[in-house]
């Protein structure tokens, strides 16, 4: 998987950072496999600087309905339609997402020529596409807000074909059943359990993608043990009271969560427009003092998971 950051500012854009949006490229060989998380104003313009276009989007996940995370959605939906994309698109987000989307399209005389499904979510598993699951966790913010945990299914271990041949199992269709962990019966009556001939499964990759939030109980469950955690660091550590009072977190609080949850890497984003390049580097430095495997997201930065 790859993370493409389209917007990394908080609240308002700056000269170098647009408002929040992030692509998750699932790198699946046969599916569109492109998901968007949040869609601030100008997101479709930001996509022009990437290898992707809105027609490849399969799913869009909205964390909450504040404008900096949402106001780019109507334009992107319409442009996708005018470009002639026939592929279905599914939107996920809190209650009110349907009303916002349908009202914006209706009042502007717009429509979509592709199948559009809108799913208003609550806490819990919201998707299992056979390859991965997505679970929504409620966060601490003035509006209903969610973070999303994306976890790939474990990949089955390799089949020990040499051992099977030594056991008298002929290559062919039986191997496919055994690779799936099934038990097969041979012509001589013996039963062979595929699980006995499989190497240990490879754990699927996992990411925790936070919406806006002050520290909260659900955050630890959302982030626990993931390979990559993407978390806001709106303000510096000295401004903790102000950040938390508005439903946000500081750099230090993001790093403390990463350490407590045992994540592999922390990527900070959603940085206040008060910080220039040097200020953003200070936020990163504050994180690294607590959690060394911290990285700073800039617009158009790409991270592999």
Domains of the chain as residue ranges with CATH: 2-155+202-304 (3.60.15.10), 161-197 (no CATH)
Instruction: Tell me how far the alpha carbon of residue 70 is from its chain's centroid.
Output: 16
Active site residue 68: yes
79-83, 188-192, 264-268: the lowest-pLDDT one: 188-192
The answer to whether 141 is annotated as binding is yes
What CA–CA distance (Å, rounded) separates 231 from 258? 9
Q: What is the pLDDT of residue 157?
A: 80
Q: Stretch 164-190: mean pLDDT, rounded? A: 84
Q: Catalytic pick from 38, 68, 227, 299? A: 68
What CA–CA distance (Å, rounded) separates 271 from 297? 9
The answer to whether 212 is annotated as binding is yes
Q: Stretch 153-179: mean pLDDT, rounded? A: 84
Where does the pLDDT of residue 46 fall: very low under 50, low under 70, confident under 90, or very high at 90 and above? very high
Q: What is the pLDDT of residue 31?
A: 65
Report pLDDT digits (tens) over 87-138: 999 999 999 999 999 999 999 999 999 999 999 999 999 999 999 999 999 9
The answer to whether 248 is annotated as binding is no
Residue 32 has pLDDT above 80, yes or no: no
What CA–CA distance (Å, rounded) separates 145 from 58? 22
Q: What is the pLDDT of residue 48?
A: 95
Where does the pLDDT of residue 171 fall: very low under 50, low under 70, confident under 90, or very high at 90 and above? confident
**Judging by DSSP bridges, how do beta strands 302-304 and 2-7 pair with one another?**
antiparallel
Report pLDDT digits (tens) over 266-279: 999 999 999 999 99
Residue 2 has pLDDT above 90, yes or no: yes
The answer to whether 64 is annotated as binding is yes
Closest CA to 150 of 232, 68, 209: 209
Residue 23 has pLDDT above 90, yes or no: yes
Residue 174 has pLDDT above 90, yes or no: no
Q: Which residue has the higher pLDDT, 244 or 154?
A: 244
**Three-state DSSP class for 26?**
coil
Exposure string over 35-74, b if 16+ CB within 10 A, otherwise e: bbbbbbbbbbebbeeeebebbbbbbbbbbbbbebbbbbbb
Q: What is the pLDDT of residue 158?
A: 84
Where does the pLDDT of residue 199 fall: very low under 50, low under 70, confident under 90, or very high at 90 and above? confident
Where does the pLDDT of residue 30 fall: very low under 50, low under 70, confident under 90, or very high at 90 and above? low
Residue 43's contacts (CB-CB under 8 Å, 6 or more residues apart) are: 6, 7, 18, 21, 36, 72, 73, 76
Beta carbons within 10 angstroms of residue 235's beta carbon: 25
What CA–CA distance (Å, rounded) separates 166 from 83? 57
- Tokens at 152, concatenated: 């790939």
- Tokens at 204, concatenated: 């699927």
- Tokens at 6, concatenated: 């389209």
Q: Stretch 13-27: mean pLDDT, rounded? A: 96
The answer to whether 231 is annotated as binding is no
Q: Stretch 193-202: mean pLDDT, rounded? A: 84
Q: Stretch 187-192: mean pLDDT, rounded? A: 86
Where does the pLDDT of residue 244 fall: very low under 50, low under 70, confident under 90, or very high at 90 and above? very high
Inter-residue contact 193 to 199 (CB < 8 Å): no
Exposure string over 156-195, b if 16+ CB within 10 A, otherwise e: beebeeeebeeeebeeeebbeebbebeebeeeeeeebebe
Q: What is the pLDDT of residue 98?
A: 98
Closest CA to 129 of 216, 59, 200: 59
**Average pLDDT of every residue of the chain:** 94
Q: What is the pLDDT of residue 172?
A: 81
The answer to whether 28 is annotated as binding is no
Inter-residue contact 137 to 149 (CB < 8 Å): yes
For residues 193, 198, 202, 204, the Cα torsion angle rounded to the nearest 10 degrees is: -30
């Amino acid at each position: 998987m790859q993370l493409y950051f389209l917007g990394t500012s908080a609240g308002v854009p700056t000269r170098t950072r647009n408002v929040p949006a992030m692509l998750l490229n699932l790198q699946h060989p046969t599916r569109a496999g492109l998901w968007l998380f949040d869609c601030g104003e100008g997101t479709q313009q930001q996509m022009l600087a990437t290898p992707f276009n809105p027609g490849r989007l399969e799913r869009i996940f909205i964390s909450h309905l504040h404008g900096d995370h949402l106001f780019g959605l109507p334009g992107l939906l319409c442009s996708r339609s005018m470009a002639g994309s026939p592929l279905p698109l599914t939107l996920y987000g809190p209650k009110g997402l349907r009303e916002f989307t349908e009202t914006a399209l209706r009042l502007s005389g717009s429509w979509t020529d592709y199948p559009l499904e809108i799913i208003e979510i609550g806490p819990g598993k919201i998707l299992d596409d056979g390859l991965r699951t997505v679970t929504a966790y409620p966060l601490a913010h003035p509006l209903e807000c969610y973070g999303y945990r994306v976890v790939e299914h474990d990949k089955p271990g390799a089949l020990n074909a040499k051992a099977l041949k030594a056991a008298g199992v002929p290559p062919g269709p039986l191997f496919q059943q055994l690779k799936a962990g099934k038990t097969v019966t041979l012509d001589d009556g013996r039963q062979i359990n595929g699980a006995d001939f499989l190497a240990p499964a490879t754990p699927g990759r996992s990411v925790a993608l936070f919406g806006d939030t002050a520290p909260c109980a659900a955050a630890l469950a959302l982030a626990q043990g993931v390979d990559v955690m993407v978390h806001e660091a709106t303000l510096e550590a000295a401004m903790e009271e102000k950040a938390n009072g508005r439903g946000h977190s500081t750099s230090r609080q993001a790093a403390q969560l990463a350490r407590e949850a045992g994540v592999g890497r922390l990527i900070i984003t959603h940085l206040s427009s008060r910080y220039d390049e040097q200020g953003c580097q200070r936020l990163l430095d504050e994180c690294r003092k607590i959690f060394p495997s911290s990285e700073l997201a800039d617009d158009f930065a790409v991270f592999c998971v």
